[in-house]
Amino acid sequence: MPEFKRQHFLPASYLKYFSTDRQNCSRDSFIWRFDGKALRLVPVTSQCSEDYFYSKTDAAKTEQMFQKAESNYCNCVDRIFKNQAPSGIEYGNLVIAMFDLHLRNRVHKNLTGKQRIDAYNLCSGIFVNEILLGRKDRRATKEDLVEHVQNYWGVHVFQISGISEFVTSDHPSMWTILKMPSDGSHPRLHMVTLPLTPKHTAVAFDNRVLQIFDDPLSVNDEQTLNIGQIQNADQCIYTSGRLSDEHMEMMRGHFAKNEPSPCEVRENGWKLSLQYLPPEHHFSFTPIRA
């Protein structure tokens, strides 16, 4: 296979933490995949990739760009996996990775007529400028993004209780808004959830809009986060342990209700679909909103 031909829209470096080999998880480990019909044990590296998904002409350059971000992500999750506290910089890198895992996903249909990397760059620019910073006057720099995350975003990592486990999916970074804009503009992002391991989930949040309490997750929280993954999935969910027949039947019901993603990227803009958390619903780790 030519170098960098296989390009992952969800990195193997993310999925490996959900492999069956929990102590020595790697790209070559195996993971359980369920698509609403069949449950299969598959190699991590074989998942969520397509030939030249982002670029054929600049394959090496594109891969190197993503590898740096993936390395920063793994440095943080490795510490969490070992029950060590990440540094402030590592937590900041985690928040940025949570944004990026959503932006680079296959769920955004590329209708630009150009390579996927061009569609990704377009989405990234719109996200940082209009959704995150809420401006159109000038293009944001990487320094603008880092400063904004440092000033206005927090992240908390929750650990699941007992023998329960988190599932993940082929579209794991779930973006949530708490209120819809009334002027038809791009909605502002308020919260992002991302399963990190079968025992850990990260919740990133705009601290100008909500707070996160350092309380244990309730059973309802755990169920809501897992159901959110199933609903946010594009084609499948992943688990580190074999699913029971009962769990598969429950998931089939949720998959049957899932509709194709309306997300589209065109040369003149980006149609984005976000999860909406209505005021009457809240997680136990967030205060009830007025």
| 1 within some domain | no
Q: Which residue has the higher pLDDT, 141 or 72?
A: 72
**pLDDT at 266 > cutoff 80:** yes
pLDDT for position 118: 95
**SS3 state at 172:** coil
| 47 within some domain | yes
**pLDDT at 150 > cutoff 70:** yes
pLDDT for position 213: 86
| 40 within some domain | yes
% residues pLDDT > 70 (the chain)? 93
**pLDDT at 137 > cutoff 80:** no
**pLDDT at 222 > cutoff 60:** yes
Going by C-alpha positions, the residue among 95, 78, 76, 77 that lies closest to residue 87 is 76
pLDDT for position 287: 67
Question: Which amino acid is located at 26 in the chain?
Answer: S
- Cβ(185)–Cβ(131) under 8 Å? no
Question: Which amino acid is located at 29 in the chain?
Answer: S
| 93 within some domain | yes
**What is the three-state SS of 56-105?**
CCCHHHHHHHHHHHHHHHHHHHHHHHCCCCCCHHHHHHHHHHHHHHHHCC
Please compute the mean of the pLDDT values over residues 85-111 and round it to a whole number: 95
**SS3 state at 274:** coil
| Mean per-residue pLDDT over the chain, rounded | 90
Top-ranked range on mean pLDDT: pick from 15-19, 157-161, 162-166, 257-261? 15-19
| 288 within some domain | no
CA atoms within 13 A on the CB side of 280: 0
| 286 within some domain | no
**SS3 state at 130:** helix
Overall domain count for the chain: 1
**Judging by DSSP bridges, how do beta strands 191-197 and 174-177 pair with one another?**
antiparallel
CA 169/CA 238 separation, integer angstroms? 5
**SS3 state at 32:** strand
pTM summary value? 0.93
pLDDT for position 188: 79
Question: Which amino acid is located at 91 in the chain?
Answer: Y
- Cβ(282)–Cβ(289) under 8 Å? yes
Among 1-10, 20-29, 48-57, 118-127, the least confident range: 1-10
**pLDDT at 290 > cutoff 50:** no
Going by C-alpha positions, the residue among 219, 222, 232 that lies closest to residue 192 is 232
| 290 within some domain | no
Name the band, by pLDDT with cuts 50, 70 and 90, for residue 183: low
Q: Which residue has the higher pLDDT, 266 or 134?
A: 266
Q: Which domain holds residue 134?
A: 6-276
pLDDT for position 215: 82
**Judging by DSSP bridges, how do beta strands 269-271 and 191-197 pair with one another?**
unpaired
**pLDDT at 152 > cutoff 90:** yes
| 39 within some domain | yes
108 Cβ partners below 8 Å, 6+ apart?
119, 123, 261, 263, 264, 265, 270, 272
